[in-house]
Amino acid sequence: MPTFRYRARDAQGRPVSGSLEGLSGDAVARQLGSAGLVPLDIIEAAPARAGGVELLERLGFGRPGRVDMILFTRQMYALARAGVPITQALRRLSTTSRNAQLARTLVGVMDELEAGRDMATALSRHPRTFGPLFAAIVRVGEESGRIDEAFLRLNQHLEREQKVVEQVKTAVRYPIIVLAFVAVAVFVVMTFVIPEFAKLYGSFDVQLPLPTRIIIGTSNFFAAWWWLIAGAVVACAAWLRRYVQTEAGRLRWHGLLLRLPIIGGIVLRATLARFARAFAMATRSGVPVLQAITVVALAVENDALARQLLGMRGAIERGEGLTRAAALQPCFTPLVLQMLGVGEETGRIDEMLVEVADFYEREVDYDVRNLNDLLQPLLTVMVAGVVFILALGVLLPMWDLVQLARQ
């Protein structure tokens, strides 16, 4: 995600500057507005050379994971509820955090607080760790004097998200491991085993069967060019990783994930569950609807869906109702639209969205179970087919030699 440098003024008119990550300059402006800042200038920053720890962090190594944030919010809730001052609580957690980057970030947040900034603004200046939704919920908690409840809501939200993410990972972990194992096994057999059989059969000076010739030809290619194949795979993986870090690449990749057969439906339902629960938490915490849509769009971690959510915000700004604005976006299913309509009529949007999130989380769990039940026999048949083809190519010449010997 690109980084933008900004200059802004806070509610007291004091100048503030820094950098934020965002999909675009407009998205960064909305983040600043969510943090109570008035943007004056926003410029996309050129990629900086990073070394050592900073380079690793830019590559994503050592970044606080969802489990780290769950532990952090739980501890912050306990300390805030016990009446421990925020700066003292952050100081304690910075010395006990298991994640080095999170510890450094908490030190930076303490510096911001000691400079006179509020908690939400201090968090928003570290977007790699604390997203816009996190800062918005904390801001509402600060303004209402119930920051402990803000951290409790964030903790509950992150724990439910972690559950959904684990369900999706479970759906893809087994097939990926099996396919990777099969790919490595085929590569080893083609590169090292088949050439030995080729030498053996070559000494007999007989016409080999077509399947055997195909396998030996493929094996010769692997044995001669394995370094080129390995290099191409690594280069493609590196290019793909770099491409999906660009705005256009990320948008295409996320859109492709939603369109994949079987898996795409699971990803869509998991993302809709995440949207519904995050939107419910934001509105229940007192975040205005337009601001809630903006921060949730940046929190769903799917740019294809985020673009549609921002389009929904634009429709509301033009005077459309929430349900009508959602109906204009193709990502929302009839269930979501019906529940939004009921919630809008009764004034209980947050409760309806929680019901939607619960429903989709149950659907994801059911889909993951069914997918695992379907994939296990399919992958078994596929592995058996690969073994059969290789064995057939290797054993057919032996069978022919046996027949010749009997004659």
Is residue 229's pLDDT more than 50? yes
Instruction: Say what percent of the chain tops pLDDT 90.
Output: 4
- Residue range of the domain that includes 21: 1-48
Indicate the pLDDT class of residue 122, thresholds 50, 70 and 90.
Answer: confident
Last residue of one domain, picked from the residues 32, 48, 64: 48
Q: What is the pLDDT, as a whole number, of residue 74?
A: 92
Q: What is the mean pLDDT of residues 272-277?
A: 84
Residue 64 has a pLDDT of 84
Distance in angstroms (rounded) separating the CA atoms of residues 187 and 189: 6
Same domain, 42 and 170: no
Q: Is 103 contained in some domain?
A: no
CATH number of the domain enclosing 232: 1.20.81.30
| pLDDT tens digits along 309-343 | 888 888 888 888 888 888 888 888 888 888 888 88
- Into how many domains does the chain fold? 2
Could you tell me how far CA 219 lies from the centroid of its own chain? 38
Say what the pLDDT of residue 50 is.
44
Assess if residue 72 is contained within a domain.
no
Closest to 182 measured CA to CA, from 386, 391, 388, 392: 386
**Residue 399 backbone phi and psi in degrees, to 5:** -65, -45
Residue 203 identity = S
| DSSP secondary structure code for residue 256 in this structure | H
CA distances from 345 to 54, 55, 160, 339, 348 (A): 50, 51, 27, 10, 8
pLDDT of residue 239: 92
Mean of pLDDT over the chain: 81
Q: What does the pLDDT look like over 348-385, one tens digit per residue?
A: 888 888 888 888 888 888 888 888 788 888 888 888 88
Three-class secondary structure of residue 22 per DSSP:
coil
User: Quick count: other Cβ atoms within 10 Å of Cβ 136?
Assistant: 30
Provide the pLDDT confidence category of residue 236 given band limits of 50, 70 and 90: very high
Q: What pLDDT, on a 0 to 100 scale, did the predictor assign at position 294?
A: 83
| pLDDT over 50 at 308, yes or no | yes
Q: Is position 9 within any domain? A: yes
Q: Is the pLDDT reported for residue 151 higher than 60?
A: yes
Contact 309, 329 (CB under 8 A): yes
Please report whether residue 74 resides in a domain.
Answer: no
CB 50 within 8 A of CB 67: no
Q: Are 7 and 18 in contact (CB under 8 A)?
A: no
Residue (of 35, 64, 27) closest to 303 by Cα position = 27
In a domain, 120, yes or no: no
* Residue 17 phi, psi (nearest 5): -140, 160
pLDDT at 51 over 50: no
Note the pLDDT of residue 406.
65
Query: Which pLDDT score, from 0 to 100, does residue 194 have?
Result: 83
Reply yes or no on whether the pLDDT at 48 is more than 50: no
Same domain assignment for residues 165 and 36: no
More confident residue, 40 or 116: 116
Spatial CA neighbour of 240 closest among 231, 230, 250: 250
Q: What one-letter code names the amino acid at 407? A: Q
Where does a domain end: 48, 64, 85?
48
Q: Tell me: pLDDT of 58 over 70.
A: no
Do the beta carbons of residue 96 and residue 262 sit within 8 Å? no
What whole-number distance in Å separates Cα of residue 23 and Cα of residue 25? 7
Contact 287, 140 (CB under 8 A): yes
Look at 18-22, 140-144, 277-281 and tell me which has the smallest mean pLDDT. Answer: 18-22
* CB-based contact 364:164 (threshold 8 Å): yes
Whole-number pLDDT of residue 84: 87
Is 388 found in the same domain as 263? yes
